[in-house]
Every structure is written in C-alpha cells, then in structure tokens.
Amino acid sequence: MYDLIVKKVLPNGTKADNRFEFHERERQFKIVGVGVIPKGKRKMMYIGDSRLTDNYQYRCLDMEQRSKVEFKAYVEAVGIDTLNDALSEAWERIKPKPISSEEYDIDFDVSQFV
C-alpha cells in the first residue's frame, strides 16, 4: 500500500488535503481521507472523524454502506471534480519516468561485464 497526499485549493479559498492509498490486490487507488481548512481558519478538519463515526446509525451499517457514507461526506466537502483532479495528480506522481541514456552514461563498453 502506498500513501499519497494531494493538496488542492478550492475556488472558495478552502484548502483540501486528499489522501489516497494504492491497493495492490485490487490494483486501484482508494480515497482514505480528506482534510479541509476553511478560508480564514488555521485548523484542519478531517472528514470522517468522530462526528461521523460516533453516530449509532453509522455503526449499524455494514462495511460497504459505511464506505458509501464516507465517500458521500468527501464529495460534499470538496466536490467530485476536486477528487477526480486529485486522483489524476496522484496517478501522475507515480507514473514511471522514461529512461534517458544521458542519466546513466550508457556510451561505454559493457562486453567485459556480460
């Protein structure tokens, strides 16, 4: 599992930290958490903290329904477009870079090593 944090600023001035993990078994990124700093504030509020999970109705749900409730809270906090942009940026960060011959100085004779 890999943990990536993508910082975004929403049009209304709110700062959002989107946290993703890459699950190798499922071969996809998953949203793990979203933190929000409203404009004019300093303290980060994490979506899905105790205000969401201390609810009895939330605790009665199974795991699939809980993940849907959490995702809905993320979308309400930052919007689906921001989440998609952050997901694309996370993918761009881990995308492999092409190998260049200048970086590894490949112009010498390697026949003595083979």
Cut 0.85: pTM above it: no
CB 77 within 8 Å of CB 34: yes
With bands split at pLDDT 50, 70 and 90, how would you rate the model's confidence at 86? very high
Q: Does a structural domain hold residue 74? A: yes
Q: Does a structural domain hold residue 26? A: yes
pLDDT tens, position by position, 31-62: 888 999 999 999 998 887 767 777 888 889 99
List the domain range (segments joined by +) for residue 51. Answer: 2-81
CA angle 65, 69, 75 (to 5 degrees): 140
CB 3 within 8 Å of CB 19: yes
Q: Does a structural domain hold residue 75? A: yes
Q: Does a structural domain hold residue 109? A: no
- Number of folded domains that form the chain: 1
Return the CA Rg of the chain: 20
